[in-house]
């Protein structure tokens, strides 16, 4: 069955690969599944046709036959459960890999997104610098705990898994902040993720959309 995902017609990040369709593309590339992409304008994302697929009017969505999903976390897990390559076979190791998916999305990502929301919504407020330093403190606490757990391992629990795919994707949002440089093992971990051929193919595919839009 054909897999169709949705993505931004013009990504707000200018092709840095931070939009969440990137995580789905990466997962599909890891497991070797082809997919189609339907591009959406910001206007189209808020129209009934898309809201029927995604009640919060965002991207990505995932359609495969009769199935429609709309949370990138659930989509990546779905792909990982259906195809070999993103979850270990051992039952307990599999549960631990899924645990890291949730750790990436529920524990690490919220303060990292807060930094972006603060910049976007409060960048012109008198309190911005003081509040930003509070948010950075919360991010550093999480990075420090994660760094301690990772140690000198290549991946969070044995072989590369969907948990690493999500964690690397979350940490990539800090690229350019300089914060990852404070934790050399996390920097190296993210670089290992970016060096994977599947990551590169996914990155190039999302960038090609932008290039086509700007020259089209």
Report helix, strand or coil for 104.
helix
- Looking at the Cβ atoms of 134 and 191, the one nearer to its own copies is 134
Site for its own copies in 17-76 (CB under 8 A): 51, 55-57, 66-75
Write out the DSSP string of 139-150.
HHHHHHHHHHHH
- Looking at the Cβ atoms of 138 and 192, the one nearer to its own copies is 138
Site for its own copies in 120-159 (CB under 8 A): 121-122, 125-127, 130-131, 134, 142, 145-146, 148-149
Residue 132 Ramachandran class (φ > 0 left, ψ -120 to 50 alpha, else beta): alpha
| Nearest distance from C-beta of residue 210 to its own copies, angstroms | 25
- Looking at the Cβ atoms of 179 and 205, the one nearer to its own copies is 179
- Looking at the Cβ atoms of 92 and 215, the one nearer to its own copies is 92
Please say whether the dihedral angle defined by the alpha carbons of residues 128, 133, 138 and 143, taken in this order, is positive or negative.
positive
Of the ranges 11-19, 109-117, 173-181, 196-204, which one interacts with its own copies (CB under 8 A)?
109-117
* Spatial separation of the C-alpha atoms in residues 134 and 202, rounded to whole Å: 34
Six-digit token string for 54 = 């995604």
Please say whether the dihedral angle defined by the alpha carbons of residues 159, 163, 169 and 170, taken in this order, is positive or negative.
negative
User: Does the footprint of its own copies cover residue 211 (CB under 8 A)?
Assistant: no
């Amino acid at each position: 069955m054909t897999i169709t995902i949705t993505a931004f017609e013009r990504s707000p990040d200018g092709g840095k690969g931070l939009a969440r369709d990137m995580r789905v593309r990466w997962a599909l590339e890891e497991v070797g599944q082809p997919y189609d992409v339907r591009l959406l304008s910001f206007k189209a994302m808020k129209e009934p046709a898309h809201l029927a697929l995604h009640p919060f009017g965002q991207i990505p969505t995932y359609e495969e036959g009769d199935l429609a999903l709309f949370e990138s976390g659930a989509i990546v897990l779905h792909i990982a459960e259906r195809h070999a390559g993103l979850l270990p076979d051992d039952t307990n190791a599999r549960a631990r890999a899924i645990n890291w998916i949730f750790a990436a999305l529920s524990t690490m990502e919220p303060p990292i997104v807060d930094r972006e929301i603060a910049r976007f919504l409060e960048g012109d407020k008198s309190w911005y610098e003081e509040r930003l330093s509070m948010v950075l403190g919360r991010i550093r606490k999480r990075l420090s705990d994660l760094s301690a757990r990772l140690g000198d391992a290549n991946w969070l629990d044995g072989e590369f898994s969907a948990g690493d795919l999500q964690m690397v994707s979350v940490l990539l949002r800090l690229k350019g902040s300089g914060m990852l440089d404070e934790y050399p093992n996390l920097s190296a971990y993210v670089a290992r993720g970016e060096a994977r051929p599947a990551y590169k193919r996914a990155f190039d595919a999302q960038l090609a959309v932008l290039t086509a839009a700007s020259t089209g």
